[in-house]
């Protein structure tokens, strides 16, 4: 089905960038630059300077960025890592793949970790906290970093959805020991496939992740540890360098669209909106997703679908409720409630104002039946 308003529109973005992308692809092919060449180094420099950190190491996904960061930080069997369930499953999977145990805490109204619950989740085994900056808004990192330093815990940020978001002027990914980003195509900065990066200002972590991503090879002769194959493809880096130039304008556009949603929907009492980009105070949100909450979620989703509007319900069943994952002992009332109520409306920098107006008009029509 082709939607009148698609959730993301990859071909539309490609049409805008085709000449630049094809030129860089041609350079990569004609130079034979496939693995860890200048394009990767350039992209790492771009990201480190954009985020205000000392090092960036390109890897094949955010999942591996998190896995390699946890391992580089020494997380292993017997350790506990505090995180949330209201996220993509990968955040919990990497903890398990290190041999450690995820300890789940509930979320607040911002859909991020309820930082006030963290201290009671700390045990003698706790080694790290993994906050997730969901939907393009930072978790309350000021308070979280205070708790982490008081209890001497490592912080690794899942910043997959928050490239460019800030709190008190500091960028997501630049608070903890390491920050992890995704360049999955649907992300704010998306490649032509998978990609990820670890950012840090800790030299040891950067060096270790660099070793892990490339079979532990320190030099041509020396292997320093048993590593993985998790390099950021050079071709992906080349494409990402092109798209990186558009990042500020894409963020600006997303915030404009969020403002338009806000203006046209804020009068509907049954609908809980994210903070408006106009009054988010200390927070600068990048709106990776524009998420609304409503008790009529499922009916709203099917109504919008009939109107030709594509929406996304990320976790219709909370991750900790999948029996195979062994996490069903956690009681997370808000995570469970919000899983029934949240829906992401179309949000991408290629959307026109007219498309967003059509979405908001349709939502208004839907609620007219309820008011």
Residues at the contact surface with ligand PLP, assessed by CB under 6 A: 61-63, 87-88, 90-91, 132, 158, 160-161, 182, 184, 194, 196
Torsion of CA 244, 57, 194, 113, to 10 degrees: -90
Residue closer to ligand PLP, measured from CB, 195 or 346:
195
Q: In angstroms, what is the minimal distance from the CB of 56 to ligand PLP?
A: 15
Residue 26 Cβ vs ligand PLP, minimum distance, rounded to whole Å: 26
Task: Kindly tell me which of 50 and 366 has the beta carbon lying closer to ligand PLP.
Answer: 50
Work out how close the CB of 368 gets to ligand PLP at its nearest, in angstroms, rounded to a whole number. Answer: 34
| CB of 300 closer than 8 Å to CB of 294 | yes
What is the per-residue burial (b if ≥16 Cβ within 10 Å, else e) of 123-135? eeebbbbbbbbbb
- CB 279: neighbour CB atoms within 10 A? 8
For the CB of residue 118, give the shortest distance to ligand PLP in the complex, in Å: 18
**For the residues of 81-137, what is the DSSP string, one character each?**
EEEESSS-THHHHHHHHTT-EEEEE-B-TTSSB-GGGHHHH--TTEEEE--B-GGG-
Choose between 198 and 268: whose C-beta lies nearer to ligand PLP.
Answer: 198
- Is 131 or 227 the residue whose CB approaches ligand PLP more closely? 131
Distance CA 220, CA 79 (A): 34
Largest CA-CA distance found in the chain, in angstroms, rounded: 72
User: Residue 200: what are its φ and ψ, rounded to 5°?
Assistant: -165, 160
Which residue lies nearer to ligand PLP by CB, 160 or 345?
A: 160
Rounded to a whole number of angstroms, the minimum distance from the CB of residue 199 to ligand PLP is 14
- Burial of residue 259 (CB within 10 Å: 0-12, 13-18, 19+) is middle
Minimal distance, residue 134 CB to ligand PLP, in Å: 6
> Which residue, 13 or 60, is less far from ligand PLP as judged by CB?
60
Helix (H) or strand (E) holding 343, with range, is strand 342-345
């Amino acid at each position: 089905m082709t939607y009148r308003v698609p959730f993301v529109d990859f071909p539309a973005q490609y049409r805008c960038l085709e000449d630049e992308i094809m030129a860089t692809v041609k350079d990569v092919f004609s130079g034979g630059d496939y693995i860890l060449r200048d394009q990767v180094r350039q992209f790492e420099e771009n990201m480190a300077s954009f985020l205000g950190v000392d090092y960036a190491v390109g890897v094949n996904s955010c999942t591996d960025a998190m896995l390699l960061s946890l391992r580089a930080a020494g997380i292993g069997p017997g350790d506990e890592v505090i995180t949330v369930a209201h996220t993509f499953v990968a955040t919990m999977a990497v903890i398990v793949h290190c041999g450690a145990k995820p300890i789940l805490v509930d979320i607040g109204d911002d859909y991020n970790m309820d930082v006030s619950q963290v201290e009671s989740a700390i045990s003698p085994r706790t080694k790290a906290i993994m906050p997730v900056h969901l939907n393009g808004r930072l978790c309350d990192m000021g308070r979280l970093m205070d708790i982490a330093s008081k209890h001497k815990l490592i912080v690794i940020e899942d910043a997959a959805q928050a490239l460019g978001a800030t709190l008190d002027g500091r960028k997501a990914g630049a608070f903890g020991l390491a920050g992890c980003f995704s360049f999955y195509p649907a992300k704010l900065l998306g490649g032509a496939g998978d990609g990820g990066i670890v950012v840090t200002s800790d030299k040891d972590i950067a060096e270790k992740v660099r070793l892990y991503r490339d079979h532990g090879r320190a030099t041509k002769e020396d292997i320093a540890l048993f590593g993985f194959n998790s390099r950021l493809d050079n071709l992906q880096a080349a494409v990402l360098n092109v798209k990186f130039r558009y990042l500020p304008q894409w963020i600006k556009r997303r915030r404009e669209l969020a403002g338009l949603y806000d203006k046209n929907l804020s009068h509907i009492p049954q609908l809980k909106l994210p903070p408006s980009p106009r009054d988010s105070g200390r927070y600068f949100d990048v709106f990776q997703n524009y998420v609304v909450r409503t008790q009529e979620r499922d009916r709203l989703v099917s109504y919008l679908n009939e109107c030709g509007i594509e929406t996304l319900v990320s976790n219709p069943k909370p991750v900790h409720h999948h029996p195979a994952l062994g996490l069903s002992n956690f009681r997370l009332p808000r995570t469970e409630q919000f899983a029934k109520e949240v829906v992401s409306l179309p949000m991408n920098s290629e959307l026109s104002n007219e498309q967003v107006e059509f979405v908001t008009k349709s939502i208004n029509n839907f609620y007219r039946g309820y008011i």
